[in-house]
C-alpha cells in the first residue's frame, strides 16, 4: 500500500452481524491500516436491534482487533466517509445479484465523492447468508449456530422471546 495511511469504512445495517460479515472484516484487516465498521440507520429496513445495540454486539466481536473500530452513523455513507477521512468503502459480495447493485453504487460513490470501493467476496459457506434471512430463521426458532456468533444468537433468541411475550 506504500506510505499512505489507508482508512476504510465497512458500512451496513448489521442487523444482526453475521459470520459472513466477520469473515469480510477478518480478511480486510490485512488490507487496510484502519477499518471502521459503520452501522448505518436504514430508513427502509424494519430494524430488530437499535444502532446502539448493534454497535455493542460488534464491539464485543472485534475486541482483540486493534485496527478495527465500530460506530453508528446517520445520513449518506459518502458523507460519513468524508467526515471520517476514509479513502475506501469496503463491501462484501455474496452473489452475482449483489454485484450488479454494488457496482452501480460504487460507480455513483466514485462519481459523486471520489471515493473508491473495494469488494471482498465472502467465503463460500456464507454466500447465501443475509441479516434478513437470519432474522427470519431466528423468528421461527431455527438453529443459526453456523451462521452467527454465539453472543449474537443469544441476543436474537432473547429479542424474539421478548417480542413473543409482547404479542407482536
Of 117, 33, 34, 19, the C-alpha closest to 77 is 117
> Does the annotation count 21 as an active-site position?
yes
> Does the annotation count 165 as an active-site position?
no
Which of 13, 91, 131, 155 is flagged as catalytic?
131
Which of 91, 94, 135, 155 is flagged as catalytic?
94
State the Cα torsion 10-12-18-21 to the nearest 10°: -20
Contact predicate 15/131, CB 8 Å: yes
Of 141, 18, 11, the C-alpha closest to 82 is 11
Which of 45, 83, 154, 164 is flagged as catalytic?
45
> Does the annotation count 161 as an active-site position?
no
Catalytic positions are 21, 45, 94, 131
Amino acid at each position: 500500500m506504500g506510505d499512505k495511511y489507508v482508512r476504510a469504512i465497512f458500512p451496513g445495517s448489521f442487523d444482526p452481524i453475521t459470520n459472513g460479515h466477520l469473515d469480510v472484516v477478518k480478511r480486510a484487516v490485512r488490507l487496510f491500516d484502519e477499518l471502521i465498521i459503520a452501522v448505518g440507520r436504514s430508513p427502509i429496513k424494519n430494524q430488530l436491534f437499535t444502532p446502539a445495540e448493534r454497535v455493542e454486539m460488534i464491539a464485543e466481536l472485534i475486541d482483540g482487533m486493534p485496527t478495527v473500530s465500530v460506530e453508528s452513523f446517520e445520513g449518506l455513507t459518502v458523507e460519513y466517509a468524508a467526515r471520517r477521512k476514509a479513502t475506501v468503502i469496503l463491501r462484501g459480495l455474496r452473489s452475482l445479484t449483489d454485484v450488479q447493485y454494488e457496482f452501480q453504487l460504487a460507480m455513483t460513490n466514485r462519481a459523486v465523492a471520489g471515493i473508491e470501493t473495494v469488494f471482498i467476496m465472502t467465503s463460500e459457506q456464507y454466500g447465501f447468508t443475509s441479516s434478513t434471512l437470519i432474522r427470519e430463521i431466528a423468528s421461527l426458532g431455527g438453529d443459526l449456530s453456523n451462521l452467527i456468533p454465539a453472543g449474537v444468537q443469544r441476543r436474537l433468541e432473547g429479542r424474539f422471546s421478548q417480542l413473543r411475550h409482547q404479542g407482536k
